[in-house]
Structure 1
């Protein structure tokens, strides 16, 4: 296989990896996946590549399958040999980058996993709405914590990084940009700034058509 193959769905978490592939100029094909919450066939097809049937799933040119966006983020930086999205081992921003990369994927990202379709985790129908509300409220508390930690104009201050790509994508999900503008304005400003990166314009347009 030549190039990379990215399994994803417009507007979903695959946009985080798609943006990085575009940033690095790596050749890839996009393999569209139907709504995994609504289509058993889509889940069955993706399970053949990634047993968890999650996006992003990235197949490397040698056939190796990668999942988990943080792992992919670090791997692509290693493959390209550049620190343009991931501060290198000697960079003063390295520790903060790693802390908040893992924070986003280990703490905030799972709130979408659980609350997007509570029926997968909560068997009692009447408990699903309260479960989703509690999970969303917890996510908002975490976002407020992150808002107090970020720099300007980018997450790490003066340098752009993959963290800004995460914010550009994740702030489009619940509770969405309107909430961030009021409740987490520093995150909102970073996301809006990242929206304007010309290197990523085609990715944003494909995932969120105007």
Structure 2
């Protein structure tokens, strides 16, 4: 029987890592095409725009050729077909599923845009002083948002408690980004502990090596 093959347009360490890690957890057959720095390379943006007009990662080509974007949509797509004991999203209605859905959407709807806006403020503003002011504001706002996530995390070992979920994958990856791990260790100890445990999940070791070498 032919194994269904997914294709992921990616860039190491970027948001595509959220999808790459989940595909590894589920043992999915995945080919990866790294597209390059989409902020700096017009060629990379033009190439990816042929598949995803927004020229953003993650962009996933499903085995039947359809295109799926948006990390939460892909997370739910994977979970829908996963065995119940491996699913990173609780499928039964209830508190655990509600928690995962709420905070996954919070991460991508509130925290993720602070990177879109703040990582390269020259895309939005020409004045150097205004660029720095916007970047600083986004960094401060991001930290306030993370403290809200910290307040919702359980007492461990994972966000939901005993159950490993997509939230733990997202936290492990996104704490690698600004304000980075030292800030999380000092300011959000629960999230820091989740991230350290996530680093040690055997099924994800190769993904971490590829995306966060060293």
Distance in 2 (alpha carbons) for counterparts of 1:87 and 1:48: 34
Q: Identify which of 39, 43, 48 aligns with 1:37.
A: 39
User: Which residue in 2 is equivalent to 1:164?
Assistant: 168
Is 1:76 aligned to residue 78 of structure 2? Answer: yes
CA deviation map 1:20-74 (0-9, x unaligned): 0011111010001110111000000000000000001000011110110001000
RMSD over aligned Cα atoms: 1.3
**Residue 109 of structure 1, CA deviation:** 0.7
**Residue 2 of structure 1, CA deviation:** 5.0
Distance in 2 (alpha carbons) for counterparts of 1:84 and 1:4: 18
SS in 2 for 1:93: helix
Distance in 2 (alpha carbons) for counterparts of 1:194 and 1:91: 24
SS in 2 for 1:6: strand
User: Which residue in 2 is equivalent to 1:105?
Assistant: 108
Is 1:181 aligned to residue 185 of structure 2? Answer: yes
**Residue 119 of structure 1, CA deviation:** 1.5
Aligned length: 210
CA deviation map 1:122-148 (0-9, x unaligned): 243320000000011000000011111
Segments of structure 1 that go 5 or more residues without pairing to the other structure are: none
**Residue 80 of structure 1, CA deviation:** 2.6
Q: Identify which of 133, 136, 148 aligns with 1:130.
A: 133
CA contact (8 A) 1:84 1:160 kept: no
When structure 1 is superposed on structure 2, of 72-81 and 142-151 the one drifting more is: 72-81
Distance in 2 (alpha carbons) for counterparts of 1:89 and 1:119: 45
Segments of structure 2 that go 5 or more residues without pairing to the other structure are: none
Distance in 1 (alpha carbons) for counterparts of 2:95 and 2:40: 44
**Residue 163 of structure 1, CA deviation:** 0.4
Distance in 1 (alpha carbons) for counterparts of 2:47 and 2:159: 37
Q: Identify which of 81, 89, 92 aligns with 2:92.
A: 89
Distance in 2 (alpha carbons) for counterparts of 1:2 and 1:76: 13
